Amino acid sequence: MAARSVATEGGWRLFLAGGAVRDLLLGRRVCDVDLVVEGNASVFARRLAERLGGSVRAHDRFATATLDGYEGRRLDVAATRRERYARSGALPEVRPGVPIEEDLGRRDFSINALALELAPRRRLVDPLGGRDDLCRGLLRILHADSFADDPTRILRAVRYAARLGFRLAPTTRGRLVAALAKGALDRISADRLRRELRLILEEPDRVRAVGMMRRLGIDAAVDPILSRRGASERFRRAPTNAGWLCYLRAWMGSATDLEIDGLASRLGLSRAERRALNPPSRSLVAPVRGADLIAAGIPPGPAIGRALAKTRDALDRGRLAPHEALDFAVRAARSEGE
pLDDT of residue 284: 44
- Contact yes or no for 229/316 (Cβ under 8 A): yes
Q: What is the pTM of this model?
A: 0.80
Backbone conformation region of residue 281, classed left if phi is above 0, alpha if psi is from -120 to 50, else beta: alpha
On the question of pLDDT at 322 being above 80, the answer is no
Could you report the per-residue pLDDT of 137-186, keeping only the tens digit for each? 999 999 999 999 999 999 999 999 999 999 999 999 999 999 999 999 99
Please work out, in degrees rounded to the nearest 5, the angle formed at the alpha carbon of residue 318 by the alpha carbons of 315 and 321. 65
pLDDT of residue 286: 54
Going from the N-terminus, what domains does the chain have, and what CATH number goes with each? 1-136 (3.30.460.10), 137-284 (1.10.3090.10), 290-337 (no CATH)
Could you report the per-residue pLDDT of 239-252, keeping only the tens digit for each? 777 789 989 998 99
The span from the first CA to the last CA of the chain, in angstroms, equals 78
Could you report the per-residue pLDDT of 11-57, keeping only the tens digit for each? 899 999 989 999 999 999 987 788 999 989 999 999 998 988 888 99
- Which residue did the predictor score with more confidence, 266 or 54? 266
Q: What is the mean pLDDT of residues 95-116?
A: 94
Amino acid at 134: L
On the question of pLDDT at 234 being above 90, the answer is no
pLDDT of residue 156: 97
Nearest-Å Rg of the Cα atoms of the chain is 25
- Cα(281)–Cα(279) distance, integer angstroms: 5
Could you report the per-residue pLDDT of 196-212, keeping only the tens digit for each? 999 999 998 999 999 99
Q: What is the mean pLDDT of residues 292-320?
A: 83
